[in-house]
Structure 1
Amino acid sequence: MDVVSDAVAAMRTGAPHSSRTRLHAPWGIRFEPQEGAGFHVILQGACWLLPVRGEPLPLGVGDVVFLPRELGHAIADAPTTPLRNATTRRLVDAASPAAGVGAGGAATVMLCGAYRLDQSRTHPLLAEMPDVVHLPARVGQHSSLRGAVDLLGRELTTEPLPGSAGVVPALLDVLLLYILRAWHDEQAEQATTGWGPALRDPAVTAALRAIHRAPAQPWTVQALATQAGLSRSAFAERFTATVGSPPLTYLTWWRMTTAARMLRDTDLLLRSVAERTGYASEYAFAKAFKREFGIAPGQYRNSSRSLPGDNANTG
C-alpha cells in the first residue's frame, strides 16, 4: 500500500479541475475560502501570490505554489493591483484564456486548479504542511513534477484534445502526488521529525504500510515492531517521533478515517464496515466512531451525502 496515495484518497470528496489562463497586466483575482486545496503554476511571466496570512510572495516561471488548506488568497501582477472576485469554477469571468484581461501589459500564463478534499479529516501528512507551499523552479530539481506540469499544460489548450476528459483528471492526481512528494522530500533533508523523515524511514514506512494494508488486523505495538524489524521500544519511539503520534493512536485514527470513507462512498452495512476496520461488533464500532466524530455512523452517512456539490473556484 502507498501511504501518500491513501492519504489523498481518504480526503477526496470530488473530482479535481484546472484551467490554463493568460492574463495581461494589470490584473488581480481574489479566491474565496473553499473546502479543498488549490495550486498555481507559472508557465510564462511573473506574478504575486497574496495569502490571507503572511507576506506577498513573488512567483516566476516554473514556480509551483500549493495551498493545502484553501483559506482564501489572491494572485495579481503586482501587490497593489485592485482585485476582482473569481466567482465561478474557472477563471472565465475574471480572465478569458482566449483574450486575456488587462490593458495589454506584460503577459502571465498560468495553470490554476483545485482539489476537493475533506478538511475536517485532514491526514497528518497534509496537516503538517504550511498554508502556502512554494516550490520554486530549480534546474535539476523535481523533474517528475516538471514533467507532469508540461503534460498538463499541453492538455489544457484552448481546443480540447481527444481524450482530454480522461487525461486531465489523471494528470491532476499525478500533479498533486508529485507536489506532496517534492515537499516531503525537501523536509526529509532538513528535519529529523515529521512525515518527510517518516516516509524515508524504512522501518516506519513498513509499519505504516502494514496498517494501511490491513487496518482490520488486531495490531499490537509488538506486531508492528516486528513488521518494522525493530525492538518494541525502539520502534515505538521512532514511530512517535516522526509520525507525531504513537502507533496504536495512528492505527485508530486510520481505522476511523477508513470507516468514514466507506460510510460516505459505499452502501456497505455497518456490520461490514465494522469488520473491515477491526471491530468485533457493530456496537463496538459505533461506540468508537461516535467517540471520534461526535455522531453515530448512520448519522454521519446521511449528513455526508447531503453536503452541497462542488463549489471550488480555484482555477
Structure 2
Amino acid sequence: MTETKQIFHDSEADRAHRAKWYLGRAAVYTVLGLWTVICLFPIFWTLTTSFKMAPDVMQGNLIPWVDYTPQWLGWRSLGLSPDTLGSASTVREQFLLRFWNSTVVSVCASLLSLVLGSLAAYGLSRFEYRFGPMKNDDISFFFLSQLILPPVVLALPFLVLYREVDLLDSRIGLILLYALTVMPIVIWIMRDQFGSIPTELEEAALVDGLSIWGAFLTIILPIALPGMVAAFILCLVLTWNEYFFAALLTSTDAVTLPVMVASQTGSQGINWWSMAALSTAAILPLVVIGIALERYIIKGMAAGAVK
C-alpha cells in the first residue's frame, strides 16, 4: 500500500513537472513569435506598400486581397513592373546605376576593411604593443572609440579634404571613407576571434617550417573564417545602408541607393509606393546574403564565447 501511494505521488510530481515544462516552452515560443512579428513587420509593410495605390497607403490598408487589391504602381514608377520591363526606362537605368554603385562601394569597402582590420586584429591578439602609455587593450579601445564620433563632426573635414584631392562624387572616395568607418568593428570582432585560437597551433606550424605569414594564411585564417564572414556581413549591411556621407559627398555619378530612396518626394508629398519599391529592392540582396551565409554568421557570433 505504501509503495502504491509512493508511485502515485511520483506520477503526480512527474505530471506537474511536465506541465510546468510545457508551459515554460509555450511561453518562450509565444514571446519569440511576437518578437519575430515585430521584427518582420517593417519588411512586410515595405513590401506590401510597394503594391498599393495612393488611397490604400493613406488609409493604412495592410492585408493584400483582403483590405486592398495589389497593383504595380510602385514598381511601374521604377520601370520594374512586368508591363514596363520590355521597354526603355530612364528611371530604371538610374536605379540600376545606383544599385551598381551601392554594390561596388559596399563590397569593396567591406573587403578592404576586413583585410586591414584582420591584420591589425591578429597583431593585437598575438603581439605586445606599446604606444606611449597605451597598450594592446587601450589601442583596441581607441579603435572602437572612433565609432562614438557622430558623422556630422566629420562632415566638413572630409568635404574639404575630398574637394582638395578630387574625390568628390567618386566611388573610390566612398570606398575609402566607408572602409575607415567600419574597420574598428572588424578589429574588435576579429581580435576576439584570433584570441580564441590556441597559439600552440602556430607554434607547431613554425616548428614544421612555416613562416609567420604561412601559419597565418594556412592555419589561422581557415579557423577564423566564420568570424570573418560575420564581420564582413556586418560591414556590408552598415555600408550598404549608409546615407549621410553618400548624400554629402556625391551628386550624380556615385549616388547610392539610400540617397535615391530618400529622394522619392514630389510636389504633392512623399511617393510612398515608389519609396517602398526602392526599399524592397535594396533590402532583397541583404536578405539573400543573410540566408545563404546564415551558418557562418551563427558560428562567427558564437566563436570565442567558450574557450
Normalising by the smaller structure, the TM-score range is under 0.3
TM-score, normalising length: structure 2: 0.23
- Bigger fraction of residues in strand: 1
- Bigger fraction of residues in helix: 2
Structure with more contact order per residue of length (Cα contacts < 8 Å, sep ≥ 6) = 2
TM-score, normalising length: structure 1: 0.22
